[in-house]
Structure 1
Amino acid sequence: MTPTDFATLPLDPALLRNLDSLAYHQMTPVQAQSLPEVLAGRDVIVQARTGSGKTAAFGLGLLHKLQAQRFRIQSLVLCPTRELADQVAEEVRTLARTLTNIKVLTLCGGVPIGPQIGSLEHGAHIVVGTPGRIEDHLRKGTLNLSTVDTLVLDEADRMLDMGFQPVLDRIVEHIPSDRQTLLFSATFPPEIESIAQRIMNQPVRITVEERHDERSIEELFSPIDGLSRPEAVRLLLLAERPNAALVFCNTKQGVKALTQHLNQNGLNTQALHGDLDQRERDQTMVLFDNNSCSILVATDVAARGLDIDAVDLVINHEIARDSAVHTHRVGRTGRAGRQGKAITLFDEKERFKLARLGDSLTIEPLPDKGILTQPPYRAPMATLQIDGGKKQKVRRGDILGALTAPGGLDGQQVGKIHLQDLRAYVAVKRSEATLALEMINKGKLKGRQFRARLVR
């Protein structure tokens, strides 16, 4: 048994059994360094990138100390976005599978508050939410945090970027001062130090420097050589033809202009930036995850908190403003044992900026410009939106059954299914989209008819 085995930790045996069943045997660096301190009850500040395994680090800590027979809110996890809150809540539920009757409740904006009030009346052990919606419930008197003994701030720097510092301070006033506080952040700006001094008690500081595996990521730097940046991006996409590409721009305006250029030239592209409302954000991420949109163009702030594994190609539309952001961008590809490529565009006037990114960079010219005349490629999947979800008791099996009924699709032609409260999204092979629509619109789910439409 190695020092990084989960079995070396003084965890609840039920949690260890579940970790074994999930094939979670070896801790990631962030887990190995932080979990002993978390289990010891200390306040902890962890600086680590997205995708480092931090959710399990704090999730196991709060589940280990949780008293299931005490049906009160014992842990509060604050996240900057609804997507991250949903991801965290789902992972905590998975980690808690072998514990008895643990209730995890998600409280986020972008959805009606009434059903959340009803859920709170039935109680919960763990609440995962966004600061704005948590404050809404506190103001209405529908949320009581007086029994919380663990507070987690996940992606704390992102919450501060979004202007949540005053809201965080007001929320903390409702939580007992003798709690344990865990703060996770990809970067450590002065604002993080300030909030840590106000709300934490002698925190242990842990910094996890995880270098990219050079064997899994090929990193290149390419001069745009007389092309506009949008043309250079399109050239790379046509040459590489990735299933999933993430393109980073430094500004919202850059995201919008590049997305428009790529779509006008026939490439399935979605934008992710701060001007999108929650419904638009949710749908964008579903389309990208479903592989019915091959290209996601995003700002760094909008992409923070998203756990996206299967990215083949990262393109930096322009050089990031600092080396830490560049490293974070490149680390979006080559994950989970996959191979990946990252290409950064620059013009000759910017060559001096490359020095801050390393000494031995691989400079490679762009592919032949004649590739720009090639026809665009299309994403392999199409996504259908069904006007029924969890609230209507629709399950993934119901959707799969309706699509694969006699005369319908083969099961291999159906991709990912995302269930939300009032709607569902299902990916199907693009060539079968018309048949899939017919199977849903003319068939039945749960004995009822639901309307479906093609989203992309």
Structure 2
Amino acid sequence: MTAPTLTTATTPSRFSDLSLPESLLNNLNSLGYLEMTPIQQQSLPELLEGKDVIAKAKTGSGKTAAFAIGLILKLKQSDFGCQALVMCPTRELATQVAQEIRRLVRYQQNIKVVTLCGGQPIGPQIGSLEHGAHVVVGTPGRIQDHLRKKTLSIARTSTLVLDEADRMLDMGFIDAIENIISHLPEQRQTLLFSATYPEGIKTLSQRFQHQPVEITVESTHSHEHIEQRFYHAENTDKPAMLIKLLKHYEPESSVIFCNTKQECKKVGSELYDAGYKPVVLHGDMEQKERDQMLVRFANQSSTLLIATDVAARGLDIDNLAAVINYDLSRDPEVHVHRVGRTGRAGKKGLALSLHTQREQYKLDNISDYLKAPLVFGDPKVLIENRQPEPAPMVTLAIDGGRKHKVRPGDILGALTGDAGIAGDQVGKINIFDFVAYVAVKRESARSALNRLEQGRIKGRKFKVRRL
């Protein structure tokens, strides 16, 4: 097996520059996909030639569309066996990837994409697979369960995608990945996407890829729109310093990174006691609770999300105002990856990091990685007399979902029809199998709750509660 090669060829810039079917180009156009992102420019020509690819790319880079276009062009509509398998580290990422593939492939009729993730009943998944699936997207553990039960066959799969492979290794999925790959045919295209290139990724590539093309988009994230500040605080002073920063900067939305789930819980308690209403993501949560936390943060019912790197992986939050590193990462590349979640699409971002005296080596590593001196903030100039502002939205949970045929339009109609609340008072609506969440502006929350409690959705009464 030869070493990966780096691409240097001239790259196309628009999807129309590639030899894609007109129906796919029309669909891409309707989705607003005209110009390719750097990762798409470099990887798509290689993918379309059927080459194995190892690409360094993060969430939000456009990597999903790159590998999705590559795999859907190879699908045989008449064959309902699994032709493409996409492995992701978390259910959230798998759901996002499956949705993106469905959007991109809608120009074709009867292409079935099935999501297989843990934290959900296996029975309905088995039922879905009985009717066949062209593309399977899922987490390694649950994919392995289906292989063991013989409810999934990947013996004819021609494309394998390992998405966010570094995080799957971090989460201990290596044995499951190896086991799954042993069920795949030798002749296949293997695509490996990873935000970082630790040693384990190189080993994975050497073992399971054939003459892969290596693609790296320079700079994992442009930091020109991000204001970075580092503040000194010893461990006992960190909670107070965090609150000072929140009161001074007042970011509209922040992800606060901790290195362990225990620290996440502790910081959540400290902030709650200080009058904030954070949501916390950690590995001990049931999937339903995890979904609820993510929905509340994404729909602005909570402005603070506390998470570890693993728990936050796969989240693509729009317009994130600030990233706060309560704990510095041990890896400068991970630090840059965290910070790169703010200041996207030309918007201004803010990155605040706490450090202890003993973490000077981490600061040196970050400075070396960024090839720039770090800027240190002065705690004395922080204004602390502001009280926490409540989040602008409130989430209402409805005990009816996809399985009850509830759609976003049904909920919107129940809230706004016949002298209901104004449409501009309603925010994001998220529908899961057995529950739906709707965000409403805080000032309309009581009226909205009363309306849903007293009214009907799809002609039925559903229990409703305020989160």
Q: Would you call these one fold, judging by a TM-score over 0.5? A: yes
Instruction: Tell whether 2:205 aligns with 1:193.
Output: no
The residue number in structure 1 matching 2:440 is: 428
Measured after TM superposition, the shift of residue 211 of structure 1 is: 4.9
Alignment-mate amino acid for residue 427 of structure 2: G
Flag structure 2 segments of 5+ consecutive residues without an equivalent: 1-10
CA contact (8 A) 2:119 2:287 kept: yes
Q: Distance in 1 between matches of 2:243 and 2:365?
A: 27
Q: Distance in 2 between matches of 1:288 and 1:419?
A: 15
CA contact (8 A) 1:217 1:334 kept: yes
Q: Aligned match of 1:273 in 279, 282, 286? A: 282
- For residues 52-106 of structure 1, the C-alpha deviation after alignment (integer angstroms, 9 at most, x for no partner) is 1110110000011112232322111111111000000011111112122221111
- Secondary structure in structure 2 of the residue aligned to 1:192: helix
Measured after TM superposition, the shift of residue 187 of structure 1 is: 1.3
CA contact (8 A) 1:149 1:178 kept: yes
Alignment-mate amino acid for residue 41 of structure 1: G
Q: Aligned match of 2:459 in 424, 434, 447? A: 447
Paired residues for 1:209-358 under 5 Å = 209-224=218-233, 228-358=237-367
Q: Distance in 2 between matches of 1:184 and 1:328?
A: 14
CA contact (8 A) 2:90 2:313 kept: no
- Secondary structure in structure 2 of the residue aligned to 1:98: coil
Question: How many residues matched?
Answer: 454
Alignment-mate amino acid for residue 400 of structure 1: L
Measured after TM superposition, the shift of residue 363 of structure 1 is: 1.7
Identity %: 55
Q: Aligned match of 2:182 in 160, 163, 173? A: 173
The residue number in structure 2 matching 1:378 is: 390
- Secondary structure in structure 2 of the residue aligned to 1:219: strand
* RMSD between superposed Cα atoms in Å: 1.8
CA contact (8 A) 2:225 2:343 kept: yes
Q: Distance in 2 between matches of 1:148 and 1:316?
A: 41
Measured after TM superposition, the shift of residue 47 of structure 1 is: 1.4
Q: Aligned match of 1:153 in 162, 184, 189? A: 162
Q: Distance in 1 between matches of 2:400 and 2:97?
A: 24
Q: Distance in 1 between matches of 2:113 and 2:222?
A: 35
Q: Distance in 2 between matches of 1:150 and 1:445?
A: 42
The residue number in structure 1 matching 2:68 is: 59
CA contact (8 A) 1:48 1:209 kept: no
The residue number in structure 2 matching 1:415 is: 427
CA contact (8 A) 2:275 2:388 kept: yes
Instruction: Tell whether 2:24 aligns with 1:24.
Output: no
Measured after TM superposition, the shift of residue 194 of structure 1 is: 2.1
Instruction: Tell whether 2:84 aligns with 1:107.
Output: no
Query: Are residues 226 and 370 of structure 1, via their aligned partners in 2, closer, same or farther at CA, if it must alter by over 3 Å?
Result: farther
Alignment-mate amino acid for residue 213 of structure 2: V
Query: Are residues 225 and 200 of structure 1, via their aligned partners in 2, closer, same or farther at CA, if it must alter by over 3 Å?
Result: closer
Alignment-mate amino acid for residue 364 of structure 1: G
- For residues 19-47 of structure 1, the C-alpha deviation after alignment (integer angstroms, 9 at most, x for no partner) is 11222111111111111111100111111
Q: Distance in 2 between matches of 1:114 and 1:70?
A: 23
Measured after TM superposition, the shift of residue 360 of structure 1 is: 2.1
CA contact (8 A) 2:155 2:184 kept: yes
Measured after TM superposition, the shift of residue 275 of structure 1 is: 2.2
Q: Distance in 2 between matches of 1:135 and 1:449?
A: 39
Instruction: Tell whether 2:20 aligns with 1:11.
Output: yes
Q: Distance in 2 between matches of 1:388 and 1:28?
A: 38
Q: Distance in 2 between matches of 1:225 and 1:194?
A: 38
- For residues 349-385 of structure 1, the C-alpha deviation after alignment (integer angstroms, 9 at most, x for no partner) is 43453222224222221364661x5322111100011
CA contact (8 A) 1:224 1:366 kept: no
Alignment-mate amino acid for residue 415 of structure 1: G
Instruction: Tell whether 2:156 aligns with 1:144.
Output: no
Q: Distance in 2 between matches of 1:441 and 1:147?
A: 50
Alignment-mate amino acid for residue 235 of structure 1: K
With the length of structure 1 as denominator, give the TM-score of the two structures.
0.95
Query: Are residues 233 and 71 of structure 1, via their aligned partners in 2, closer, same or farther at CA, if it must alter by over 3 Å?
Result: same
Flag structure 1 segments of 5+ consecutive residues without an equivalent: none
Q: Distance in 2 between matches of 1:363 and 1:218?
A: 11
Q: Distance in 2 between matches of 1:116 and 1:231?
A: 47
Q: Distance in 2 between matches of 1:173 and 1:360?
A: 47
- For residues 421-448 of structure 1, the C-alpha deviation after alignment (integer angstroms, 9 at most, x for no partner) is 1110110111222211111111111111
With the length of structure 2 as denominator, give the TM-score of the two structures.
0.93
- For residues 395-429 of structure 1, the C-alpha deviation after alignment (integer angstroms, 9 at most, x for no partner) is 00000000112232111000000010111011011
Query: Are residues 95 and 212 of structure 1, via their aligned partners in 2, closer, same or farther at CA, if it must alter by over 3 Å?
Result: same
Measured after TM superposition, the shift of residue 325 of structure 1 is: 1.0
Q: Aligned match of 1:364 in 348, 363, 377? A: 377
Query: Are residues 214 and 405 of structure 1, via their aligned partners in 2, closer, same or farther at CA, if it must alter by over 3 Å?
Result: same
Measured after TM superposition, the shift of residue 226 of structure 1 is: 10
Q: Distance in 2 between matches of 1:440 and 1:308?
A: 28
Alignment-mate amino acid for residue 460 of structure 2: R
Query: Are residues 166 and 214 of structure 1, via their aligned partners in 2, closer, same or farther at CA, if it must alter by over 3 Å?
Result: closer
